[in-house]
Each structure stands twice: as structure tokens, then as C-alpha cells.
Amino acid sequence: MQLSVIILAAGQGKRMNSDLPKVLQPLAGRPLLEHVIRTARAIEPENIYVVYGHGGAQVQAALPHESVDWILQAEQLGTGHAVMQAMPVIPDDHRVLVMYGDVPLIRAETLTKLLAATDDDSMALLSTKLQDPAGYGRIVRDPGGGVRAIVEHNDATPEQLAIREINTGLMSVPAKRLRAWLLNLRNDNAQREYLLTDVVAAAVIGNCRVSAVVAGDAEEAMGVNDKIQLAQAEAGYRQARAHELMLAGATLADPARIDVRGEVRVERDVFIDINAVLIGKVRLGARVKIGPNCCIRNSSIGEDTEIHANCHIDGAVVGDNCRIGPFARLRPETVLHRDVHVGNFVEVKNSDIGAGAKANHLSYLGDAQVGRDVNVGAGSITCNYDGANKWPTIIEDGAFIGSGSMLVAPVRVGAQATIGAGSTIAQNAPDGELTLTRAKQTTISGWSRPAKLSEKDKEAAIDGALQRPKSV
């Protein structure tokens, strides 16, 4: 049977108390709905329909790259009504998998398990057992263990409220059957809504086999309705990603204190200290060491490189065996070749730094091409911006830039050139020579330090110096 996925994402999410529609609340930096769409895509259905409504344009605009079919639910009259909006475009011979936009941690393997539990004429739902089932729909079974109905929390009797097996919201149903059951839904319940969950009782009456697949991992089935559950989902996501990294061979100083918000690939024996935030596409080569409090985004780090505490690395390609930080910042389009040292309070942007080069203290290298084994002294910077345009700086192999130098771009420093400390270099410096700009050092003999003045003498001195009329 061909598969159509319907993702319900039209609700407002009142319990979030937020101007942002619930399905756009961020989990690991991406909207809840994006997580659900990606998981749906992993099982390769024929179609993915997203039912949207509350905050409509905002929801679509937040996910411009998702090629899904958007179905408008103009009025949010309940989950059953939401599914009904998509049914006109789904053929009778399809299987429908319903997913909820606010159940973001569900795994593709679990969806596959759910689908495997059904045949052409039966339905299956995903349940799980919770210590605290408050708020969820309860799975009511008959004495033989067969599923009889789902009863929403607000409609449940005291005995039903004691049931710990809950509805996760995911169900797999033959389209033809679902269409018929939805047409008979009524809204005579506590919420005055058309509840998708009522199709279970309809299936039982219609002699359709209903099986419940129990998700072993209650965490992946959790619904996100308020900010507390959002934080719990974030913690669940964090833990799952940390486990993946550890299974791939990384040692984590504390698996509870790492945030992976993207696709991170680690090789063997990587060590990551606490509070690392890894965003987007990140690759860490074998034996890379990351110190505490580092943020690394869309970057690749070569093997044996060590990144000390408090570094910020974004859009950089770092070679093997480099030493970075503490407190270094690598900005987009930075390439460090092997054995480069970038030390504390050094910022590098859109620059290519040759093998073995060092900038160990308090430097800015922007739009620079730096050769092999160059040494950039403490406090030296490229002056790459003239207020209107950005200009390049070229430093050839083996050059030595004395501390506190200003390289006013566009400018070239030749191979093996030496720049004297404190120079302002605005013209090209030739290969192999010492170039410097420096005022002659003088000593004023007999000079004495200022003495403390009375308030009156000080005022008079200021008036004189600033050429102000005498104060009265």
C-alpha cells in the first residue's frame, strides 16, 4: 500500500503562552515541526501533508525549504477535523500515517514498527506507558487486552484516569476506512472538538482490528504542550545526541552538558569537555580535544587538533594538529592549515593561514592570506576596512610581524620579511628585509612629574588649556 503522512500542525498551543505558534517553538534550534517533517521523510512516504492553520503564513515562511503539501485548516475544530482537511487529496487505496507536529522526538524506526503492525485492513496506534499520564488520552482495553477506545483526559472517568498507557497521537490507518470514520465524528465531548482519537472506537464497532504498538522509550513519544515539556524534550534530544557521539567513539566529560544542534560526525577518541555547543554540520577528526565552553558551528576540525576553553568557531576549516584558544574566535571562510597556532583573543575572518603559522595573542586577521611559518606578534592586526571597502593583506612564507603592528590593506609583506614592532605598514614590505616605521625615541632630561593642584588652580589651568572664558 502506498503511504501518505499527515502531520497535524494547525493548533495554537495556548499552553505555551507565546506569540510563536507551537509547532515553531525551537527544539535544538529548529522548529518542532521541522523535526517531525524530517523523521517523516526518513521513511520515504509518497506524500507528506502538513495541516496548518494558526499562524498560517508564519508557519509556512519558517519552513521554506520543506517540500511538503500544505493543507489549510481554517478553523481549529480538533485533531479529527484537521485530518479530515487532508482526506480529499488522499486516494482510498493509501495507508495514512498521522503524526503530531508537537511530538518531535519520535524516531523513524518507531514509525516503521508501527507500520509493520498493520495490514491492508487493520489499524495501529502507538502507545506508551507513563508514570504520570496526566493530560494524555488513555488507552482503554477490553478484558482480553484488545484496544477498545482512546478516552481523552478531560472525558475520562476516575478509573480511566488511573490507566497509565497513553496515546502518543501516532496512528496508521487504511485511507478508505479512515474517511468513513471521520465523517461520523461528533463533537459532544468536554472540548467540543472533533477528536481523531474517536476513530478507534469507530474501528472497534466496524470490526477493524486495532493493535497498539507500545513504544519502549516513553521519552520519544512525549508531546510538547508547554515550556516545561519543551525543556524536557530539549533534554531528551540532548541525551540522544550525546549517546550517538559516545557510541561513535567520543568521550564526553558530561553527557548532560553538551548540546548537539545539527549533524555532528566524530572520529575515534575525540574528547569533549563540558558545555560544548555544536551547531549545523560539524566534523571532529580523530583525537580532537575540545575544552570547556566552546561553540562550534558548521566547521571541520582536523585530527589531533586541540581547542582550548571558550572558543567560538563558525564556518571554519581547521587542519590537523592545530592549537586554538583559549578565547579564540574563528569566523566564516577561515582556513587553518596544519600545525597552526591561534592563541587567546585572536580573531580570524575570511583568511587562509599557512601550515605552522602562529598568531598567539590579541590579533585580528581579516581577509588575509598568510604563508607557512609566519609569526604574527602580539597585538598586530590587519586594517582591512577603510570605512567603505574591505581590502586583502598578503603575508608571505616565513615573515615575522613584530608586536603591535598595523598592516594597512591592501598590502603585501614579502617572504622572510621582518616588520619592526609598533609599525604601521601601508606600503608593501620587501622579501627578507627589516621594515619598520617608528618615531625616534627621545629622553627629556630634568622633566618632573605633575604635582597635585588645588581645585582653583586646576580650574584656571583647564580654562587656559581649553581657551574658555575665566570661570567666576
Interface residues with ligand UD1 (CB under 6 A) are 8-11, 22-23, 51, 73, 76-79, 81-82, 100-103, 136-137, 150, 152, 166-169, 195-197, 223, 225
Rounded to a whole number of angstroms, the minimum distance from the CB of residue 189 to ligand UD1 is 9
**What are the DSSP calls for 285-352, one per residue?**
-TT-EE-TT-EEES-EE-TT-EE-SS-EEESEEE-TT-EE-SS-EE-TTEEE-TT-EEEET-EEES-E
Give me the helix-helix angle, 175-183 and 79-86, nearest 10°: 130
Rounded to a whole number of angstroms, the minimum distance from the CB of residue 93 to ligand UD1 is 25
Q: What's CA 374's distance to the chain center, in Å?
A: 36
Judged by CB under 5 A, which stretch of 55-63, 101-109, 266-274, 407-415 contacts Ca ion?
101-109
Which of 18, 321 has the CB closer to ligand UD1? 18
Angle 335-340-341 from CA coordinates, rounded to 5°: 115
**What are the DSSP calls for 234-253, one per residue?**
HHHHHHHHHHHHHHTT-EES
By a kind-dependent CB cut-off of 5 to 8 A, residue 196 interacts, out of ligand UD1, Ca ion, none, with ligand UD1
Give me the helix-helix angle, 108-116 and 32-42, nearest 10°: 50
**Catalytic residue of the set 243, 308, 341, 361:** 361
Which of 197, 380 has the CB closer to ligand UD1? 197
Rounded to a whole number of angstroms, the minimum distance from the CB of residue 223 to Ca ion is 4
By a kind-dependent CB cut-off of 5 to 8 A, residue 101 interacts, out of ligand UD1, Ca ion, none, with ligand UD1
- The count of other CB atoms within 10 Å of the CB of residue 443 is 5
Rounded to a whole number of angstroms, the minimum distance from the CB of residue 229 to Ca ion is 9
361 in catalytic set: yes
**DSSP type of residue 417:** -
Is residue 81 within a helix (H) or strand (E), and if so which, with residue range?
helix 79-86
CA–CA separation, 80 and 83 (whole Å): 5
225 binds Ca ion (CB under 5 A): yes
Which three three-digit cell numbers place residue 432? 627578507
102 binds Ca ion (CB under 5 A): yes
CA–CA separation, 393 and 370 (whole Å): 8
* Per-residue binding letters, 199-218, with Ca ion (x by CB under 5 A): --------------------
Q: Which residue's CB atom is positioned nearest to Ca ion?
A: 223
Among 21, 55, 133, 223, binds Ca ion (CB under 5 A): 223
Q: Which residue's CB atom is positioned nearest to ligand UD1?
A: 137
Rounded to a whole number of angstroms, the minimum distance from the CB of residue 264 to Ca ion is 29
Q: Which residues are catalytic?
A: 361
Q: Which residues bind Ca ion (CB under 5 A)?
A: 102, 223, 225
